[in-house]
């Protein structure tokens, strides 16, 4: 997870998440949906 604040004004309060596989991406999105 990388905080992109300061890179560009349009990216204020944004995070970039990099995952290794489709399965990891799905697991991350499921966990994120649960957390939100």
1-36 pLDDT per residue, tens: 777 777 778 878 888 888 899 999 999 999 999 999
User: How many whole angstroms separate alpha carbon 19 and alpha carbon 28?
Assistant: 8
- Token couple for 31: 């966990």
pTM: 0.62
User: How many whole angstroms separate alpha carbon 3 and alpha carbon 1?
Assistant: 7
Please state the domain count of the chain.
1
Domain that holds residue 9: 2-35
- What pLDDT was estimated at residue 31? 96
With 0-12 CB in 10 A as exposed, 13-18 as middle and 19+ as buried, what is 13? exposed
- What pLDDT was estimated at residue 16? 83
């Amino acid at each position: 997870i990388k905080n992109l604040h300061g890179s560009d004004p349009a990216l204020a309060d944004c995070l970039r998440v990099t995952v290794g596989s489709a399965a990891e991406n799905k697991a991350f999105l499921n966990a994120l949906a649960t957390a939100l």
